[in-house]
Amino acid sequence: MSPKAAAHTIHGDCHHIGWDNSLAPALTVTPGTTIEFECLDASGGQLTAASTVADVTTLDFGRINPVNGPVYIDGAAPGDAVKITLESFAPSGFGWTANIPGFGLLADQFPDPALHIWSYDKVGMGPAAFSPVGRVPLKPFAGTIGLALAEPGLHSVVPPRRVGGNLDIRDLSAGVELYLPVEVAGGLFSVGDTHAAQGDGEVCGTAIESPMAVTLTLDLVKDAGLAAPRFTTPGPVTRHLDAKGYEVTTGVGPDLMTGAREAVSRMVELLSARHGMAAVDAYMLCSVCGDLRISEIVDMPNWIVAFYFPRAVLD
């Protein structure tokens, strides 16, 4: 079945930073309406194809993670859920990945800025070249997608929340049905922070950050009683990475965060030693295509976190 055509378009200049239930709606729609959002990248256009690593150090964080909207959905009330069907993505062909000082799972190990500019086939969507030894399979999705909070005032767009927000879930891709709990009249839906690819965990703090258009349909589920986001995928979620298996490193111990850091650090070491990469390049590559998983959380006192790196990227 072909994705639905959009009845409305919300352009990139119609965006906001942060969540605030006092914002005037950019659009009011009835349930079942399909909308195209022309989303900016996570830098709000500060990083371009001509950017250098020096531009990472001058980023204005007051412009980070703009989201398009908000959209008021007629009839949406607290206790309901908004059903979002992600119809399609139209990528731009440009993206960036950065190591931003002070940000990311291994920020203490990588204190210096780094930047990789991506150019990819926005039509064929073949794997994007990272280096002569790395090509990353693409899977576009929206990193930030959510509704307004009941609490008044401006709330940062950085953390994920019970009503959605900066979820950074790689599997919120085309065909997915996402459900978000409504806390204010109309829901006030917004979306942005689009990515061309990301690994589960987004370990360095950035993915392939890429402006693109997102087309989605907003529906309403009355009296859903939903406490937090949930979603349904239309099929397998890792087939773009699975073809040649994985290299896997682990962290073992009583603390999941420590285990996650150790698993990623060991993969960075493995990739650097085996493929001659700079450690920060291996770290950024892990962020855009490697997956953190909790492999075991019942055999006390130690838990296992594993990091899966797809061999297809480097073979």
User: What pLDDT, on the 0 to 100 scale, is given for residue 190?
Assistant: 98
Class of domain 8-232 (CATH, top level): mainly beta
For 73-108, the pLDDT digits (tens) are: 999 999 999 999 999 999 999 999 999 999 999 999
State how far the Cα of 130 lies from the Cα of 133, in Å rounded to an integer: 8
CATH number of 242-313: 3.10.28.20
Q: Which residue has the tokens 């690593």?
A: 53
For 284-304, the pLDDT digits (tens) are: 999 999 999 999 999 999 999
For 111-156, the pLDDT digits (tens) are: 999 999 999 999 999 998 887 788 999 999 999 999 999 999 999 9
pLDDT-derived band of residue 109, with 50, 70 and 90 as boundaries? Answer: very high
Cβ atoms of residues 211 and 229 within 8 Å: no
Domain ranges of the chain: 8-232, 242-313
Instruction: Name the residue among 292, 106, 280, 126 with its Cα closest to residue 198.
Output: 292
For residue 229, say if its preceding peptide bond is cis, omega within 30 degrees of 0: no
State how far the Cα of 113 lies from the Cα of 98, in Å rounded to an integer: 7
Beta bridge partners of 308: 248, 291
Q: Is residue 313 helix, strand or coil?
A: helix
The pTM of the full predicted model, rounded to 2 decimals, is 0.95
User: What pLDDT, on the 0 to 100 scale, is given for residue 3?
Assistant: 72
For 218-260, the pLDDT digits (tens) are: 999 999 999 999 999 999 999 999 999 999 999 999 999 999 9
User: What pLDDT, on the 0 to 100 scale, is given for residue 133?
Assistant: 81
- Averaged pLDDT, 271-288: 96
User: What pLDDT, on the 0 to 100 scale, is given for residue 277?
Assistant: 94
φ/ψ of residue 54, rounded to 5: -60, -30
Q: What is the mean pLDDT of the chain?
A: 96
User: What pLDDT, on the 0 to 100 scale, is given for residue 2?
Assistant: 67
